[in-house]
Amino acid sequence: MIRLFVYGTLLSGEDNHYLIQRADFLCPTHTAPAFSLVDLGDYPAMVAGGGTSIAGELYHVDLQTLARLDLFEEVPELYRRVQINIAGSDTAAYVLPQTHAGSAPIIPSGSWRKRA
């Protein structure tokens, strides 16, 4: 099992949650203030190097689910699956390279649900 942090359309109640709904939900959480959350229209992207704490949820996912999510998130062409530290533990998360973020607007709250 892999710990995975999600922050956008994979969140419970969001459009793509069905991809992760069988995974074990652990808790709502947030990252350290080391990222930016950008609005790409239909979905957000977490970008390293900002000063915002990103709100999300933590799951335990099996390798089959992780492989399916990697395809969905277009790893490594669009997103990168990287290890970040959440609550003292290594956790996988999908991060968009800064070069792909372009001039997308930043979501100051760090929360996809509070973007409006």
Residue 38 maps to which CATH number?
A: 3.10.490.10
**Contact between residue 57 and residue 28 where contact means Cβ atoms under 8 Å apart:** yes
Determine whether 74 is an active site residue.
no
Q: Which domain holds residue 93?
A: 2-103
pTM: 0.95
For the chain, 116 residues long, the average pLDDT of each consecutive 10-residue run is 97 97 96 96 95 98 97 97 94 95 93 90
Closest C-alpha to 73, from 64, 82, 81? 81
Please tell me which residue in 14, 57, 73, 77 is annotated as part of the active site.
73
Please tell me the predicted confidence (pLDDT) of residue 85: 94
Q: Does residue 116 lie in a domain region? A: no
Element (H, E) at 45: strand 44-48
**Contact between residue 46 and residue 94 where contact means Cβ atoms under 8 Å apart:** yes
What's the CA gap between 1 and 34, in Å, rounded?
A: 26
**Number of domains, the chain:** 1
**Contact between residue 94 and residue 112 where contact means Cβ atoms under 8 Å apart:** no
Q: Does residue 7 lie in a domain region? A: yes
